[in-house]
């Protein structure tokens, strides 16, 4: 399945998560954030970079793990990504939805 994001055909699954991380770039991230009504700040980018790094290292993600990462605490994570922080942040980061998310 494909979706046009930022003028490019991007491979996504039925929930809108990218299925090919190599297609992700900051422009795509910005467009996905806009869809979620989020304006990305440098703080958002720090969290997104952490999520992408964890994904590359095959570290399973959960809200608790992100909260203990030292990158962002749970309260701030919810402030940055108010509507389901882990689901929203991983979608913007271009990585698969974590197994811990419903």
The catalytic residues are: 101
**Separation between Cα atoms, residue 52 and residue 46, nearest integer Å:** 10
The DSSP call for residue 17 is -
Alpha helices in 1-102 (DSSP H): 26-35, 42-56, 63-67, 74-80, 85-93
Select from 91, 8, 6 the least CA-distant residue to 55. Answer: 91
């Amino acid at each position: 399945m494909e979706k046009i994001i930022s003028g490019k055909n991007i491979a996504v699954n039925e929930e809108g998560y990218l299925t090919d991380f190599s297609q992700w770039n900051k422009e795509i991230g910005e467009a996905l954030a806009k869809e979620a009504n989020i304006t990305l700040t440098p703080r958002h980018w720090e969290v997104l970079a952490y999520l992408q790094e964890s994904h590359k290292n095959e570290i399973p993600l959960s809200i608790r793990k992100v909260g203990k990462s030292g990158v962002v605490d749970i309260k701030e994570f919810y402030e940055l990504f108010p509507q389901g922080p882990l689901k929203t942040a991983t979608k913007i980061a271009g990585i698969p939805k974590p197994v811990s998310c419903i």
